Amino acid sequence: MSELAKPRMTAKDRARLAADRLKALYPAVSELEHRNAFQMLIATILSAQTTDRSVNAVTPALFARYPDAAALAHANPAEVEAMIKPTGFYHVKAKTIIAASAALVERFHGEVPPRIEDLVTLPGVGRKTANVVLGVAFGIPGFAVDTHVKRLTRRLHLTKSTDPVKIEAEVTKMLPPEEWTGFSLRLILHGRRICLARTPRCPECVLNDFCPSSTVRAKGGRRPLTATAASVRLGHGRGTVRKRPGRRPGTRH
């Protein structure tokens, strides 16, 4: 029986099929440019309420001036504010990244900890940010739920919840741990390019033949991929999920 001939597709079926389809189009990467876990952490905090492009425009100078947690922990707030102003909410963000850096120095010897239990204790770091850092910087499975992931998981009927913690818990039960990070990152990319908030581009979506929210339906069988990997490949290679030697999938700490 083909995947489209199934009389009733379960949420788990949709999750796994969506993960497979999106994997053919998108790399498992973050669009935030970074070179190490510290930069990824700070960039992710700065990305709140703004675009990754805005963050990428300011972080090269920021990290050149403050290359590590020790440097940023002792930064002049006014100088940091001036550097990150284009990202918006710069007063709060400057205070937050300085405080987070100070916490790294005081409690973790200046290093970003590879445990979600530790990451969420840092100023400005919730589960979303922690899961992004775990997956992208450490290759540790984590399912980050941002506004795009929240929207797409509901449109795919993988969840009815609007609570990021519940969404994370429900979706991760449907997929093996090694798929969590990639699926989250690809949902984000797909949400930015195709499954837009106000006007989703359903005719162009490779999920439109089984997505319960699709405004179109393919005729005559499975819809072929409507985009190629080359058309959505990112302009930089940073952020690709790396596997840590000796760590088993699904292990967070």
Q: Which residues are catalytic?
A: 128, 146
d(CA 127, CA 117): 9
d(CA 22, CA 205): 10
Residue type present at position 137: A
Angstrom CA distances, 7 to 4, 13, 157, stand at: 8, 12, 16
Residue type present at position 82: A
- Contact (Cβ atoms closer than 8 angstroms) between residue 195 and residue 151: yes
d(CA 175, CA 190): 18
d(CA 165, CA 235): 31
**Rg (alpha carbons) of the chain, rounded to whole number:** 19
- Tabulate helix, strand, coil % of the chain (nearest 5): 50, 0, 50
Q: List the structure tokens of 251.
A: 């292990």
Which ranges of 120-176 does DSSP label H, i.e. alpha helix? 127-133, 147-155, 164-172
Q: List the structure tokens of 243.
A: 């596997």
